[in-house]
Amino acid sequence: MNAEELRKDFPILSERINGHRLVYLDNAATSQKPRQVIDAIRRYYEHDNSNVHRGVHTLGSRATEAYEAARERVARFIGARSPQEVVFTRGTTESLNMIAHGYARAKLGEGDEIVLPPSEHHSNLIPWQQAARATGATLRYLPLQPDGTIRLEDVEAAVTDRTKIVAIAHVSNVLGTVNPVREIAEIAHRHGAIIVVDGAQSVPHMPTDVVAMDCDFLAFSGHKMLGPTGIGVLYGKAELLAEMEPTYFGGEMIDVVDLYESTWKEAPWKFEGGTPIIAGAIGLAAAMDYLEKVGMAEIERHDAALAAKAVERLAEIDGVTIFGPPPGQSRAGLVTFNLGRVHPHDLATVLDARGVAIRAGHHCAQPLMRLFNVPATARASFYLYNTEEDVDALVDAVLEAKEFFGHAIG
């Protein structure tokens, strides 16, 4: 793949930021959108816009076809057995909350355990805290190695017949570690537990095969993978979605409504109460077309190579601390770091003045920040349109920040 060529598809990358070329390294927060996605959404609104699943008129049929075709697109992208295993949601957070609400609460009871690492994003942590509080179940945390990895022997020790759910990110949004979800799924299943995988940082950056992974649920967001905001996916094995209760009730999701009780459609439609996110689904399908054309395995290699180079060069700067796997060790396409005592907000402001956009803060992972004993960190995350020139710009800007704060902070 040729990142330099791909950049031309992304209009925003020609923005000048504070007089500099935009170096967009906040892809783990959200990705930029190619013209193909923007056009697909505009085309839908200009030619096909209508509500789905109800109109008898021509536009109603076109919109319904496009929306259901998007579902099939997603199913192919993640290797689902059927499009009916794909539920459209607002994003990863909503998907995970729907599982915790509609599935977990009915299954959990006193003495049951939910196993998860302390490095999870708040959206794969708080829903489980809430489910545990509501049912009397308890949370059991997996230990992290100093490099942020999780050892399978620790998973073996933590997962028992009391475990009902294992919740884990495929790729950590802070550490950049790739967790062995397939092996963890095998351990969970041996004990009769299900595994919920947060794919927010993995599905955009590597090939996904839910059957090979054998996950029971997978949640991810469209906006981190070139799609629009406001659309996400909840994948669930057909038999689990059949058991799972809807979270929202109302139009669109019903079968028969009576004065005192009602019945629902089958999955996935029973989970999509109200007018669904039609344009979002169409935009996500266009994003998946784009990504697949480039090639997910190519993208995975590209992002990881840039992150590896960034880690290597940042680690050479005196005063830089790298979190997660050290240089030379495998990691996904992001790097989290700090520069001495320079607060990440100050660092990010100096970088922004040079056109370099990074994330600074707790990354929605406060328990992990406490484990590191830092209030916040800086994070650079890469995607298919980033280049080695972007890594150079990042490193140069960090050196400038060091110079700028050096005299004051030491």
Partner 1 sequence: MQLDDLYRQVIMDHYQHPRNRGTLDEGAISVDLRNPSCGDEIHLQLLVDDGIVKDVRFLGSGCSISMASASMMTEAIKGKSIEEAVDLAHAFRAMMRGEDVDLEQMGELEALQGVNKFPARIKCATLAWQALERAASVPTGGHVEEETLGE
Cα torsion 142, 148, 153, 159 to 10°: value is: 20
Residue 409: CB minimum distance to partner 1, A: 7
Q: Which residues bind partner 1 (CB under 8 A)?
A: 18, 343-346, 349-350, 353, 360-362, 366, 369, 375-376, 404-405, 408-409
Report CA 360 to chain centroid distance, whole Å. 18
Please give the structure tokens belonging to residue 132.
């545990």
Beta pairing, strands 262-264 & 138-141: unpaired
Residue 240 or 353 having the CB closest to partner 1: 353
Nearer to partner 1 by Cβ, of 72 and 396: the residue is 396
In whole angstroms, the minimum distance from the beta carbon of 18 to partner 1 comes to: 5
CA separation for the pair 223, 319 (Å, rounded): 34
The SS3 assignment for 223 reads helix
Least gap, CB of 13 to partner 1 (angstroms) = 20
CB of 371 to partner 1, least distance (A): 14
Q: Any idea what DSSP says for residue 245?
A: P
Beta strands in 22-84 (DSSP E): 23-24
CB of 347 to partner 1, least distance (A): 9
Compute φ and ψ for 244, nearest 5 degrees: -75, 140
Closer residue to partner 1 (CB): 99 or 360: 360
CB of 349 to partner 1, least distance (A): 7
Q: Which amino acid is at 229?
A: T
The three-state secondary structure class of 335 is strand
For 105, counting Cβ atoms within 10 Å of its Cβ (0-12 exposed, 13-18 middle, 19+ buried), the class is middle
Cβ closer to partner 1: 186 or 396? 396
Q: How far is the CB of 337 from partner 1 (least distance, A)?
A: 16
CB neighbours of 266 closer than 8 A, spacing ≥ 6? Answer: 84, 242
Enclosing H/E stretch for 333: none
Tokens at residue 67, please? 């929306």
Q: Minimal CA–CA distance to 164: which of 142, 195, 185, 187?
A: 195
Give the separation between CA 40 and CA 228, rounded to whole angstroms: 11
C-alpha distance from residue 284 to each of 66, 105, 219, 330, 378 (Å):
12, 30, 14, 29, 29
CB-wise, 18 or 145, nearer to partner 1? 18
Question: Catalytic residue at 364?
Answer: yes
Q: Which amino acid makes up residue 277?
A: I
Q: Where are the beta strands (DSSP E) in 1-144?
A: 16-17, 20-21, 23-24, 86-89, 113-116, 138-141
Q: How many CA atoms lie within 13 A of 77 on its CB side?
A: 31
Of the residues 294, 296, 332, 364, only one is catalytic, namely: 364
As a whole number of angstroms, the distance between CA 385 and CA 22 comes to 12
Q: Which residues are catalytic?
A: 364
